[in-house]
A and B are shown apart, each in its own frame.
Chain A
Amino acid sequence: MTHTETIATPRSGAPLPSQTHLQRLEAESIHIMREVAAECRRPVMLYSIGKDSSVMLHLARKAFFPGNLPFPLLHVDTTWKFREMIAFRDETARRDGLELIVHTNEAGLRDGINPFDHGSALYTEVMKTQALKQALDAHGFDAAFGGARRDEEKSRAKERVVSVRSQHRWDPKRQRPELWRLYNARTTAGETVRIFPLSNWTELDVWLYIHLERIPVVPLYFAKPRPVVRRAGGWIMVDDDRMRLDAGERFELRKVRFRTLGCYPLSAGIESDAETLPALIREMLTIRTSERQGRLIDHDQPSSMEQKKRDGYF
């Protein structure tokens, strides 16, 4: 991206190059982050360790360069994330000198809530949704950046960049109209806002940007032989000895990678040979399924994502 460096103003009469769509998306995301940082009392960035979080963090560092981020990062740790994710998280925070808050729902942990015994719906409610509410309340955050995109899922296509939550709940009828580049992140007592700076990015945009900007991501996105079991049409990785096998299930070594990362018992991998970023992009161009299919929690009831959002899931 060096060709923009030689442009001149119309005052000198020289021609100007146009912005490409990735440059326009980058500029928009930076603008959104700067608006929120200027107008909100105490923002936080929800850092989920995935590729979207990596891009969001990279954009935030650009937005406030050469200063530090004017907000901390928050990771809601269910204790069931892939081990490689936690290692990547800690390495990123150390390398970039970030203020990282890690929160776990201790009550849920005490009650032994887990994805095997309690089902994905209850487990997600307790260890993710409730945990997030606890952390936001405990620190008094009034705005939380998230890496969600509108292309991920139907109910997200109508999500605002600035999404108002009353008592953490999302009411589709109370969302504020967003015109031009004017965002309204003002809150009254009991309200918080979620901010989605990547709203207009697609999955392909995210990967191309990672490629062009050389942004580090968790190695789980790339194919490698991993111990897995076949479950609900996907490959579930056996990341530690807490993994339980159903009758008739057995693990095997398969070359798989993950398109989305979350809790390992709920994130299905796909068989793949894409060991590198170019190979991954090449595979994406031929792949014909959407990334959320790898998330088992989206399929547990009809219109399940919309319901989760109403309850306060990110």
Chain B
Amino acid sequence: MREGADASAAEVERFVREYSAKPLVRLVICGSVDDGKSTLIGRLLHESKALLDDQRAALEADSRALGTRGGDLDFALVTDGLTAEREQGITIDVAYRHFTTAARAFILADAPGHEQYTRNMVTGASTADLAVVLVDARKGVLTQTRRHTYLLSLLGVRRVVLAVNKMDLVAYSREAFQRIETDYREFCAKLDVADVTCVPIAAVHGDNVVARSAAMPWYSGQAMLACLDAAPTGADLRAQPFRLPVQRIIRPNQDFRGVAGMIAGGAVCVGDEVTVMPSARQSRVAAIFVGDRPVGGASAGQSVTLTLADELDVGRGDVLADPGAPPATADQFQATVVWMQDRPLLPGRTYLMKLGTQTAMATVAPLKYKVNVNTLEHVAARQLDLNEIGVCDLELSRPVVFEPYSVSRELGGFILIDRLTNDTVGAGLLHFALRRSQNVRWQRFDVDKRARAALKGQKPCVVWFTGLSGAGKSTIANLVEMRLHALGCHTYVLDGDNVRHGLNKDLGFTEADRVENIRRVAELSRLLVDAGLIVLVAFISPFRAERRMARELVEPGEFFEVFVDAPLQVAEARDPKGLYKKARAGELKNFTGIDSPYERPEQPELHIDTMTAAPVQAAELILERLRTAGVIPPG
């Protein structure tokens, strides 16, 4: 009994050692339900014993109730998780599953294949070391196969196993398989896919999935699982120069100041010199901890805490690096952006950008082109819709430490976050810094805003009138300017219609053009404030995001948002320019309030209800507000 227990304990120890030493490989499977993808995944889980008895029992029950295989096990049902998806018979989101082979532990990202799910494909591929692309042997290399492969190469997944499924339906034909293999390799030659292995399978029956199939004696390669076990998983990050994006500083007491983060590239040893980017100050590594354990060195992929020999100012967002090969910093880039939400990406709009542990504001410059993901053609575009991919320049609010995505996923891959909803709306890959970012420097002049304002004896500011067409913005702005002028103030009015006669005459009324319209006017307002003027801006400016951007261009206290509020039916009844009539007749597209939205201000400095306040009273209210704020002297 005692001996038996010992032998059993030794056996467990051996298992623990072997199992825990298996490398973790992240795999993405691309294909659609029609290609038999869910069946293949169900089969992989079943054959690698990742499917347990109760799950199998549930599968049997589901197969009888919902299955499409006449009561036989329908492996596709294993992977369809959410009720809505099961009812619709599609998978709408990335699902992650586990299975283990003799050599590796796999985490499999199951990414839906339809065109509208480019977002999910990209998400699944972003963490993958390796990909399986599935095709139907009867159909061969299709548009979607090309799209999947392009997205894989874009995201830097350079090892692909092509699974040619449903070989049973082409009589296990060698010719059919070879034709598909040749087509696919030709296509891959145009892309940056380093390594392709092709396997003929029939997932429904299990042919060539786990073991070589007798039905295809002509196939001399390995079964699919063996291919997955053997495939190289990409470049070794540990061979790169050392990079540690700082997540936080751990400071439990005066004697310990730890720099915590996950090593993104290379390795580091106690005693190594390191450079802190972007400050470029140097120090030496005094100690390294992996968790609570002191170690002599650590490498890419490990979460560590370092202490430095010198007291340097290091914080979240800094990057510790090899002083011999430090990463660059820049604030303007060319990037590829994948758009991930229903509302389009609008050039000119500002988003939050998260890159590694750094966060900055990013403004998207006009798109250079978008990519047709099916043909790989470049197409001119003014905006990006959901699931579209485009190339553009980005301007950041401050310099960030970066590397091209092709060198580092960690320092080259970023997400864009909507500043109002906080949703993740896009993902992107940095390609290179723009030269002008390094060559254009801000020139300082000795006469500044304060000096100019002092000469005029006033406090410059922006009074921003927003509201529907016909609400009375220009009328009220005119009255306010007359009053200010009479008081001896230096003013300027920017009016929506007037600016479109000159500076903005190249812009139309699409959402993208409206964003650019406001961006230019906001920049112009900032220049006029810098010149010492009181600037009155009368623009519909329907979107909160752009009004916020205009506000943030000037200093706190310099921006007064005035909401000129008139109900749509009232503005429409006034219709001083006859525009509502035209819009209702369909002669005018994208008209605010009719077929384009107006986002009401949430916290304007002043809310003017034009139903109760006449324009003269409104102007008085605004002057009163400017007096309170000290812009003009007390009355």
Give the number of chain B interface residues (Cβ < 8 Å): 90
- What is the size, in residues, of chain A's interface with B at 8 Å between Cβ atoms? 79
Task: Answer yes or no: A239 CB below 8 A from chain B CBs.
Answer: no
Closest CB-CB distance, B269 to chain A, in whole Å? 5
Indicate if A281 sits at the interface (CB-CB under 8 A).
yes
Contact flags B256-299 to A (C-beta < 8 A → 1, else 0):
10101110001111001000000000000000011111011111
CA distance A64 to B289 in the complex (A): 11
- CB contacts under 8 Å to B, within A8-31, are 8-12, 16, 18-28, 30-31
Q: Is the CB of B247 within 8 A of A38?
A: yes
For B305, what are the chain A residues with a Cβ–Cβ distance below 8 Å? 65
Cα-based distance from A24 to B263 in the complex (angstroms): 12
Contact indicator A31/B303 (Cβ below 8 Å): yes
Interface flag for B219 (CB, 8 Å): no
Asked if A7 and B298 sit within 8 Å, CB to CB, the answer is: yes
Q: Are A290 and B55 interface neighbours, CB within 8 A?
A: yes
A181 in complex: contacting residue of B13, B302, B410, CB < 8 Å: B410
CB distance from A9 to the nearest CB of B (A): 4
B395: min CB distance to chain A, Å:
20
Residues of B within 8 A of A1 (CB): 293
How many residue-residue contacts, CB under 8 A, span A and B?
A: 224
Residues of A within 8 A of B421 (CB): 188
Contact B12 A282 (CB under 8 A): yes
Contacting A at CB under 8 A, from B522-538, are: none
Q: Which of A9, A23, A24 is B267 in contact with, Cβ under 8 Å?
A: A9
Which chain B residues lie closer than 8 Å to A188 at the CB level? 420-422
With a cutoff of 8 Å between Cβ atoms, the chain B residues found around residue A19 in the complex are 23-24, 301-302
A208 and B16 contact, CB distance less than 8 A = yes
| Complex alpha-carbon distance, A30 and B324, angstroms | 29
Report B's interface with A, CB cutoff 8 A. 8-9, 11-13, 15-16, 19-24, 52-55, 79-84, 86, 93-98, 105, 107, 119-120, 122-123, 126-127, 238-239, 242, 247-248, 250-252, 256, 258, 260-262, 266-269, 272, 289-293, 295-299, 301-303, 305, 316, 322, 324, 340, 352, 354, 356-357, 409-410, 413-415, 417, 420-424, 427
- When chains A and B are docked, how far (Å) is the Cα of A66 from the Cα of B291? 9
Q: Which residues of chain A come closer than 8 Å to B414, judged between CB atoms?
A: 182
Q: B262 touching A27 by the CB < 8 A rule?
A: yes
A109 proximal to B (CB < 8 A): no
Contact B268 A66 (CB under 8 A): no
- Chain A, 203-240, contact with B by CB distance < 8 Å: what is the 0/1 string? 01000100110000000000000000000000000000
Interface residues of A in 150-194 (CB under 8 A from B): 150-151, 154-158, 172, 174-182, 184, 186-188, 191
Asked whether B81 lies within 8 Å of A154 as measured between CB atoms, the reply is: yes
- Report chain B residues within 8 Å CB of A279: 8-9, 12
Is A133 part of the contact surface with B, judged by Cβ < 8 Å? no
**B296 A22 Cβ-Cβ under 8 A:** no
Asked whether, in the complex, the Cβ of A187 is within 8 Å of the Cβ of B266, the reply is no
User: How far, in whole Å, are A211 and B16 apart by their CA atoms in the complex?
Assistant: 9
A186 engages B422 (CB within 8 Å): yes
Q: Which residues of A are found within 8 Å of B20, using beta-carbon distances?
A: 20-22, 208, 212
Q: How far is the CB of B572 from chain A (nearest CB, A)?
A: 32
> In the complex the two chains form, what is the Cα distance from A20 to B123 in whole Å?
24
Top-7 shortest CB links A-B: A62-B291, A21-B24, A67-B252, A179-B126, A30-B303, A288-B53, A278-B12
Q: Which residue of B lies closest to A7 (CB)?
A: B297
B290 x A4 contact (CB < 8 A): yes
How far is A298 from B55 in the complex, measured between Cα atoms in Å? 13
Assembly CA distance A282 to B354 (angstroms): 44
Indicate if A260 sits at the interface (CB-CB under 8 A): no
Chain A contacts with B in 54-110, Cβ cutoff 8 A: 61-68
A118 at the interface (CB under 8 A from B): no
CB-CB < 8 A to A134: which residues of B? none
